Amino acid sequence: MMGKARFVMVLFAAGALLAGTLAVAQPGGGGRGRGGGMRGGMMMGTVTEVDVANSIIKADAFGQQVNLYPVQATVLTKRIPLDIKDLKVGDNVDASGLPVKILAGQLTADRGPQPPNQGQPGGPGGPGPGFRQFGGGTNASVRGTVSALEPLTIKATIRSQDGTESTTEVDVQLADGAAVTQLVAAEWNEVTAGATFRATAQMNENQQLVLQTLVLGEQLPPMGGGR
């Protein structure tokens, strides 16, 4: 019988971004900085130092030392446990795992506002809705809306290359031992040395990696992102 531990993620926009340890800047930030060897995009890693005076988060991301610059538009969240019973019909979700129905080792419920130009389930940087197979057909993922709980069913819109759309429903069976978590608003004083994270950032004209999203408490993949 399947266990009750499952993986759920909920995104809420950070509240008062000026509160906490870091004084975040307007987009575009101050003088010239150095982003390190990365040019932006998605990254995971570990915070190594918080430079409060200059509002810089120094981090080891994918084994590279980077400087990250928070701004008022940065969406700051953290991962904490969630009871799976909180999942509701109508939630936007992301599930991935084995393509037997989908035997999901991961399920993401996204209930909060999105970063600018996101507007799709799956959290910061996630792709749009649909059903996909990858890894030579050994894994699959679906992003859409919960249409039923027993059995858990996700309704997804699939867009073809010619731009036409169709709708499909995918049954999701949750695997034993998957974790149940959610994303909620975090405070800047929680950004401390040793914190693991997932982030999206964009290089600005001053060669600074400006944070678009920052998720604290992420589990890093083996041999990736941390020290």
pLDDT along the chain (227 residues), means of 10: 38 33 52 55 95 93 93 90 84 76 75 55 49 67 87 83 81 80 87 96 93 91 55
Task: Specify the pLDDT at position 223.
Answer: 56
- Please provide residue 28's backbone torsions phi and psi, each rounded to the nearest 5 degrees: 100, -25
Task: Specify the pLDDT at position 203.
Answer: 93
Task: Specify the pLDDT at position 195.
Answer: 97
Question: Which residues does 125 contact at the CB level (< 8 Å), separation at least 6?
Answer: 42, 200, 213
Spans of all domains in the chain = 85-182
Question: Which residues does 139 contact at the CB level (< 8 Å), separation at least 6?
Answer: 96, 97, 98, 99, 133
Task: Specify the pLDDT at position 9.
Answer: 40
Angle among Cα 159, 165, 170 to the nearest 5 degrees reads 75
Contact assessment for residue 144 and residue 154, using Cβ atoms and an 8 Å cutoff: yes
- Please provide residue 107's backbone torsions phi and psi, each rounded to the nearest 5 degrees: -140, 125
According to DSSP, the residues that pair with 223 across neighbouring strands are: none
CA dist 202 and 122 (Å) reads 19
Task: Specify the pLDDT at position 128.
Answer: 54
Task: Specify the pLDDT at position 193.
Answer: 97
